[in-house]
Amino acid sequence: MAARTPARFPRVALIGRHGGPDLAAPLSKLAAFLLARGHTVALDAETAKTASADGVAVLDDDALASGADLAIVLGGDGTMLSVARRLAPHDVPMIGVNLGRLGFLTDIPLARLEPTLAAMLDGRYAEERRTLLDVTVARADGSAAHAPALNEVVVNRGGLGSMVECRVEIDGRFVYSMRADGVIVATPTGSTAYNLAAGGPIVSPAMDAVILTPIAPHTLTNRPIVIPAASPVRVQPLIEDRDEVFVTFDGQAGFQLEAGDEIRICRAERTLRLIRPSTRSYFEVLREKLKWGER
Amino acid sequence: MAARTPARFPRVALIGRHGGPDLAAPLSKLAAFLLARGHTVALDAETAKTASADGVAVLDDDALASGADLAIVLGGDGTMLSVARRLAPHDVPMIGVNLGRLGFLTDIPLARLEPTLAAMLDGRYAEERRTLLDVTVARADGSAAHAPALNEVVVNRGGLGSMVECRVEIDGRFVYSMRADGVIVATPTGSTAYNLAAGGPIVSPAMDAVILTPIAPHTLTNRPIVIPAASPVRVQPLIEDRDEVFVTFDGQAGFQLEAGDEIRICRAERTLRLIRPSTRSYFEVLREKLKWGER
Amino acid sequence: MAARTPARFPRVALIGRHGGPDLAAPLSKLAAFLLARGHTVALDAETAKTASADGVAVLDDDALASGADLAIVLGGDGTMLSVARRLAPHDVPMIGVNLGRLGFLTDIPLARLEPTLAAMLDGRYAEERRTLLDVTVARADGSAAHAPALNEVVVNRGGLGSMVECRVEIDGRFVYSMRADGVIVATPTGSTAYNLAAGGPIVSPAMDAVILTPIAPHTLTNRPIVIPAASPVRVQPLIEDRDEVFVTFDGQAGFQLEAGDEIRICRAERTLRLIRPSTRSYFEVLREKLKWGER
Amino acid sequence: MAARTPARFPRVALIGRHGGPDLAAPLSKLAAFLLARGHTVALDAETAKTASADGVAVLDDDALASGADLAIVLGGDGTMLSVARRLAPHDVPMIGVNLGRLGFLTDIPLARLEPTLAAMLDGRYAEERRTLLDVTVARADGSAAHAPALNEVVVNRGGLGSMVECRVEIDGRFVYSMRADGVIVATPTGSTAYNLAAGGPIVSPAMDAVILTPIAPHTLTNRPIVIPAASPVRVQPLIEDRDEVFVTFDGQAGFQLEAGDEIRICRAERTLRLIRPSTRSYFEVLREKLKWGER
């Protein structure tokens, strides 16, 4: 006899780390666990290449977005970033399960997956709404490219360059022209990633904020700035001669910029809906990742 | 014939830097300027000790707070901080005029005072609402002291100590026990003061945020954290034997803590109403103070 | 039959952590181990208050310094600092044994004490010569106080002050007048202590250098400076009215300064002779203390 | 009647900024000034393309190095770096004249060139010996490339990469495997350049030291380390798949690395002989460049 259709998240999509060799076993175990609880389970097409499970449909991104009430992602924070950008136009909540080391977005360990998930599917979870960035790269000829980012958008020099000069505006007001390896525009979610390495602050994901952090700035007083996420940011790199300047999104996608390109960053209309165990605080994860020690 | 009573800020209080020798002349000039425009003008009692003006009443703080629609402060950022704490329980908007060097809160230069003020009194100003902190120092015996802060509250070691250990909670959740020279809990207004010197980020005054910045922390990963101003912060210093630990407010007031004291910081109900020239952006002041250069 | 007098370090002094309750057992075990190998063993008078051992003399500092070829210190880095300052005028090499957590100066764990020490007493050790500072506090009336420091000398504000302004000279040349919580003048040995917390660099103990690191400087470009240890440093704090400014040595000794006091720091004539296991590199200790991870 | 051959620096080579349009006039004026004082004057071949002067020979680098007792460089610090690398194998002292803004290496302003130079040629100068790096890039196939550096050698990621992992050894001892944007190995001369922007300390050029500074390191405790210049440094980047990793010298020359490449850095046998006005201290230049203010 089949289980009753559950009230919460009846249709679940499973998405695994790209090309993960250690994915197949936990994924099919997870599928069986969910099916036994009465959920409909689907795999995304990419994941289905390296793993499969009985009684599970395979869906492309659009079908998955419209046909799932929840996406469970198995991998690391990198996998979560990439899935979050893919599903950004949709409104599917996400749960992150870490296959390797604890992450900020994937803080459910595989070893404790089933009891943790059972509690969450029974309603003991916290839903966080994380700010996403909507990035436009506008070209001098009037054309434009668009991309989302969950952690950060970065404008930086190439491997052989010395510095890039960027003119920065916030809310249409000139801030500075800084010369640096580059500039990071990060969300609170991204504050503990590249931003932290470059000297930026930790910003609680409860904040609706954006952080501008220069990377190795020539002017030492060009310090990180935290502004409201609602304030649009404009970055105009000065690109001359053989300068190589790049834009990247979550460190995973990107391209080389041309002279005259400008990058406009604003808060995306949709937020990322992150479903986390209610028993685990943000600061617990911070303590563990940053080795703050207990006491 | 007397000027008509102006529509905006009819009753203006003037407050000068404590004991400022260069205060008398600009203050009486300013009083005359305001009287000529039809404003009622009052001096606070402290200021009246070193300066005076014709046609001007002298009021104590309570009378001043209830009897003024605007306070114009002549001095530096330090004067503004001290006046802001005094007037914190009231709701009097403030304008800052710098008698010396440009400040973040006193960004109207004396040399341009009358034309700038004329424009502002005619309605060309921006009103900013700045977050104030409401600090409680709770003693083990149940007693408690209260103090406001506009820039920051600091818990730090004495002059001969080596470190203070503080247990920190945010929103009732344990964050860390850090050992450091101390910890700064700053507002966005205070982000460019002590917080910046200690490695904290610049936080736009448009943010409703609070910044926790450890001073010279023993654990290098104890980095500044930005949280919502609505989140209460609790700091519990570990005070043993001959440890000397102090709490200070805006670097201007404070006292020595005792074993068992804990410091609770939350957003004050009232905000500071800061009236600034509409022509000058926050980033302009930053550029000038931090010598970012123009381009 | 008694062991032959050993060729290396025939006379060993044992010095324990002040008031350490866990000292007695390891100390008497160590004494027995050394006596069995033919060494003469002495205790310093302070240590003898809480621990004792058969066949062991008790000596005051002067006798100990002239009558010992080696001092073995049981405690933490703090104990080593304090003993190093006491023995600074003499030339007794030191070995540090950590009773608690691994230290930079006490990197021999109690659990491995006898085999490690046996190897070292047989000649398998590295001798490092660590720079000591010789600090003079010169008063306006011509009087002067002297103190050594192994980690650092610090000039800093009191617990309620806001900043101290210090004029700094190196080699008789004006460097800057900085306003900060204080300034650290550290040795390479001290570079991983307070200096590191305040943003200073790690400096290899093989360097004959001194590091000037401002603590939370008002001017953000006042960055740490590394100079030759042979260059004398002069720090002149500006002390007015009720300013409280302090000088401390290794965070363990110190006093309040008066207006007109100036602090002169130069390399001491003697170095500290630190005897360490030859199998353990400086970087191994760094990796462990700073949790760099292995790979 | 011709001037007598001067005792100091009889043969002077003039080298100008590459392609500098503002070079011709000051260069011919300088040549005339030197000729009038009895010096033999030569131009390097590159400079001769855009400027010339009567009575002046044009020499290639080898001839110039063997036929000059002094090189006067007109340009900025960048020009000095490039000339220093070109002349590194030789032993020609250098004087730097800034055509634009004050530099660390070019601290003689054009406006004061003749009186300053007259004093220096009369013997009132200080000669500083600056450490140069000798960099070997060793390939897995046994081949190797060599390059000098005056400021720094940098191993960093490409424009689209996320991080580079580098294994670092000092003196043949493993230090750490760090993941970062890259790592800077700088001389004291270079300490105020890229190293400072990346968070490294200022190191007096009187120090015989090398500084390792990670750029935006993932592990926050990977702090800058100062070591003796005599200690060889080995950097082994882990290059997989499509990773792009680059090595650069003084930010001016460089190339892409291949899997298996390793970078060995040691102090060059020769130092750079820098001739500076004896009236100007290193700290004066620092104060001016870093805007420390006077007092």
pLDDT at D294: 58
Q: Which residue of B has its CA nearest to A291?
A: B221
Residue A39 has pLDDT above 60, yes or no: yes
Angstrom distance (rounded) from CA A273 to CA D90: 65
pLDDT at C1: 47
Beginning with the edge strand found earlier in the chain, give each strand of the sheet holding B209-215 in spatial order: A202-203, B225-228, B209-215, B182-186, B152-157, B245-249, B253-256
Burial of C211 per CB tally in 10 Å (0-12, 13-18, 19+): buried
pLDDT at D241: 86
Note whether residue A293 is domain-resident.
no
Has this prediction a pTM greater than 0.90?
Answer: yes
Angstrom distance (rounded) from CA D230 to CA B228: 51
pLDDT at D77: 94
3-state secondary structure of C29: helix
Angstrom distance (rounded) from CA B145 to CA B178: 24
| A207 in the same domain as A90 | no
CATH classification at residue B45? 3.40.50.10330
CA distances to A286, B96, B196 from A193, rounded to whole Å, are 12, 39, 21
Chain A residues with at least one Cβ partner in B under 8 Å: 167, 170, 173-178, 196, 200-204, 206-207, 209, 211, 219, 221-228, 231, 281, 283, 286-287, 290-293, 295
Chain B positions touching C151 (Cβ under 8 A) are none
| D108 in the same domain as D187 | no
Token pair of B4 as six digits: 């008509």
Evaluate whether B284 touches B292 at the Cβ level (below 8 Å): no
CATH classification at residue A170? 2.60.200.30
Angstrom distance (rounded) from CA D33 to CA A50: 78
Note whether residue A286 is domain-resident.
no
Which residue among A206, A221, A290 places its CB closest to the CB of B290?
A221
List of chains touching D (3+ CB pairs within 8 A): A, B, C
Angstrom distance (rounded) from CA B150 to CA A79: 42
Contact C207 D227 (CB under 8 A): yes
Evaluate whether A62 touches A92 at the Cβ level (below 8 Å): no
Note whether residue D281 is domain-resident.
no
* Amino acid identity, position A240: E
Sign of CA dihedral A26, A29, A33, A38: positive
Please state, rounded to an integer, the average pLDDT across all residues of chain B.
93
Size of interface A-C (CB pairs under 8 A): 7
Domain extent for C220: 132-269
Token pair of B270 as six digits: 């009232």
Residues of C tagged active-site: 77
Residue D2 has pLDDT above 80, yes or no: no
Reported as a single tens digit per residue, the pLDDT across D262-294 is 999 999 999 999 999 988 889 999 999 999 975
A interface test, pick of C101, C218, C219, C220 with most A CB neighbours within 10 Å: C220
Chain B positions touching D291 (Cβ under 8 A) are 291
Partner residues linked to A177 by β-bridges: A167
Reported as a single tens digit per residue, the pLDDT across D217-229 is 999 999 999 999 9
| % of chain B residues with pLDDT over 70 | 98
Q: Residue B82: which pLDDT band, with cuts at 50, 70 and 90?
A: very high
Angle between helices A113-121 and A24-36 (to 10 degrees): 40
Burial of B210 per CB tally in 10 Å (0-12, 13-18, 19+): buried
Q: Which residues lie closer than 8 Å to A139 by C-beta, 6 or more apart?
A: A145, A258, A260, A261
Reported as a single tens digit per residue, the pLDDT across D133-142 is 999 999 999 9
| C141 in the same domain as C72 | no
| DSSP classification of residue C289 | H
| Nearest alpha-carbon partner for D221 in A170, A179, C201 | C201
| D138 in the same domain as D263 | yes
| B253 in the same domain as B178 | yes
Q: How many helices (DSSP H) and strands (DSSP E) are in chain A?
A: 7, 21
Note whether residue B18 is domain-resident.
yes
CA distances to A227, C184, D225, D267 from C201, rounded to whole Å, are 31, 12, 6, 21
ipTM of the complex: 0.95
Q: Residue D50: which pLDDT band, with cuts at 50, 70 and 90?
A: confident
Residue A295 has pLDDT above 70, yes or no: no
Beginning with the edge strand found earlier in the chain, give each strand of the sheet holding C152-157 in spatial order: C253-256, C245-249, C152-157, C182-186, C209-215, C225-228, D202-203
Q: Which residue of C has its CA nearest to A291?
A: C291
List of chains touching A (3+ CB pairs within 8 A): B, C, D
Q: Torsion angle of alpha carbons A260, A263, A269, A271, nearest 10°?
A: 150
Residue D295 has pLDDT above 60, yes or no: no
Chain A positions touching D162 (Cβ under 8 A) are 194, 248, 251-252
3-state secondary structure of A250: coil
CA distances to B163, B248, C148, C261 from C257, rounded to whole Å, are 20, 22, 17, 6
| Nearest alpha-carbon partner for D32 in D54, D14, D49 | D54
Beta pairing class for B57-59 and B40-44: parallel
Instruction: State the smallest CA–CA distance between residue C192 and chain B in angstroms.
Output: 10
Contact D218 A197 (CB under 8 A): yes
Chain D positions touching C224 (Cβ under 8 A) are 201-202
CA distances to C42, C112, C114, C237 from C118, rounded to whole Å, are 18, 10, 6, 49
**Strand (E) positions, A50-196?**
57-59, 70-75, 94-98, 108-109, 125-130, 133-138, 144-149, 152-157, 164-170, 173-180, 182-186
Token pair of B140 as six digits: 């083990």
Contact A159 D162 (CB under 8 A): no
Chain D positions touching B287 (Cβ under 8 A) are none
Q: Residue A2: which pLDDT band, with cuts at 50, 70 and 90?
A: low
Contact B221 D223 (CB under 8 A): no
Which residue among A157, A199, A220 places its CB closest to the CB of D159?
A157
pLDDT (mean) for A14-22: 83
What is the phi/psi pair of residue A144, to 5°?
-155, 145
CA distances to D120, D171, D187 from D263, rounded to whole Å, are 39, 14, 16
Instruction: State the smallest CA–CA distance between residue A221 and chain C in angstroms.
Output: 6
pLDDT at C55: 85
pLDDT (mean) for D192-203: 98
Contact C226 D207 (CB under 8 A): yes
Note whether residue B293 is domain-resident.
no
Evaluate whether D282 touches D204 at the Cβ level (below 8 Å): yes
pLDDT at A46: 87
Q: Which residue of C has its CA nearest to B248?
A: C160
Note whether residue C83 is domain-resident.
yes
CA C262 to centroid of chain Cα atoms: 23
| A97 in the same domain as A35 | yes
Instruction: State the smallest CA–CA distance between residue B142 and chain C in angstroms.
Output: 24
Query: C291: number of CA atoms within 13 Å, CB side?
Result: 13
pLDDT (mean) for B85-111: 91
SS3 content of chain A, % helix, strand, coil (to 5): 20, 40, 40
Q: Which residues lie closer than 8 Å to B20 by C-beta, 6 or more apart?
A: B50, B74, B75, B99
Instruction: State the smallest CA–CA distance between residue C162 and chain B in angstroms.
Output: 5
| DSSP classification of residue C73 | E
pLDDT (mean) for A151-172: 96
pLDDT at D15: 95
Residue D124 has pLDDT above 60, yes or no: yes
Instruction: State the smallest CA–CA distance between residue B92 and chain C in angstroms.
Output: 28
Which of C75, C104, C123 represents a domain boundary (last residue)? C123
pLDDT at B1: 47
Evaluate whether B62 touches B87 at the Cβ level (below 8 Å): no
In total, chain C counts a number of residues equal to: 295
| D195 in the same domain as D162 | yes
Partner residues linked to B133 by β-bridges: B149, B267
For chain D, the three-class secondary structure string (H helix, E strand, C coil) is CCCCCCCCCCEEEEEECCCCCCCHHHHHHHHHHHHHCCCEEEEEHHHHCCCCCCCCEEECHHHHHHHCCEEEEEECHHHHHHHHHHHCCCCCCEEEEECCCCCCCCCEEHHHHHHHHHHHHCCCEEEEEECCEEEEEECCCCCEEEEEECCEEEEEECCCCCCEEEEEEECCEEEEEEEECEEEEECCHHHHCHHHHCCCCEECCCCCEEEEEEECCCCCCCCCEEEECCCCEEEEEECCCCCCEEEEECCCEEEECCCCCEEEEEECCCCEEEEEECCCCHHHHHHHHCCCCCC
Note whether residue A292 is domain-resident.
no
Q: Which residues lie closer than 8 Å to B273 by C-beta, 6 or more apart?
A: B91, B92, B93, B94, B127, B128, B129, B130
| A106 in the same domain as A228 | no
3-state secondary structure of A208: coil
| D102 in the same domain as D33 | yes
Question: For each of chain C's 295 residues, which pLDDT tens digit applies?
Answer: 457 888 899 999 999 987 767 888 999 999 999 999 999 999 998 888 888 778 899 988 888 888 899 999 999 999 999 999 998 888 899 999 999 888 999 989 999 999 999 999 999 999 999 999 999 999 999 999 999 999 999 999 999 988 999 999 999 999 999 999 999 999 999 999 999 999 999 999 999 999 999 999 999 999 999 999 999 999 999 999 889 999 999 999 999 999 999 999 999 999 999 999 988 889 999 999 999 975 5
Contact C221 A223 (CB under 8 A): no
In total, chain D counts a number of residues equal to: 295
List of chains touching B (3+ CB pairs within 8 A): A, C, D
Which of D83, D98, D123 represents a domain boundary (last residue)? D123
pLDDT at A286: 95
Angstrom distance (rounded) from CA B97 to CA B115: 13
List of chains touching C (3+ CB pairs within 8 A): A, B, D
Note whether residue C175 is domain-resident.
yes
3-state secondary structure of C253: strand
Chain A positions touching D196 (Cβ under 8 A) are 220
Evaluate whether A189 touches A130 at the Cβ level (below 8 Å): yes
B67 compared with B251, residue with greater pLDDT = B251
| Choice among B77, B107, B134, B181 that is catalytic | B77
Token pair of D110 as six digits: 């054009």
| D205 in the same domain as D113 | no
| Nearest alpha-carbon partner for C94 in C15, C180, C192 | C15
- Output Rg (C-alpha) for chain C, integer angstroms: 21
Evaluate whether D202 touches D191 at the Cβ level (below 8 Å): yes
Angstrom distance (rounded) from CA D272 to CA D187: 12
Q: Residue A294: which pLDDT band, with cuts at 50, 70 and 90?
A: low
| A248 in the same domain as A200 | yes
Angstrom distance (rounded) from CA C32 to CA C30: 5
Contact A223 B283 (CB under 8 A): no
Domain count, chain B: 2
| A194 in the same domain as A65 | no
| % of chain B residues with pLDDT over 90 | 81
Chain D positions touching B221 (Cβ under 8 A) are 220-221
Question: Which region holds residue D38: left if phi is over 0, alpha if psi is between -120 and 50, else beta?
Answer: left
Which of A123, A143, A160 represents a domain boundary (last residue)? A123
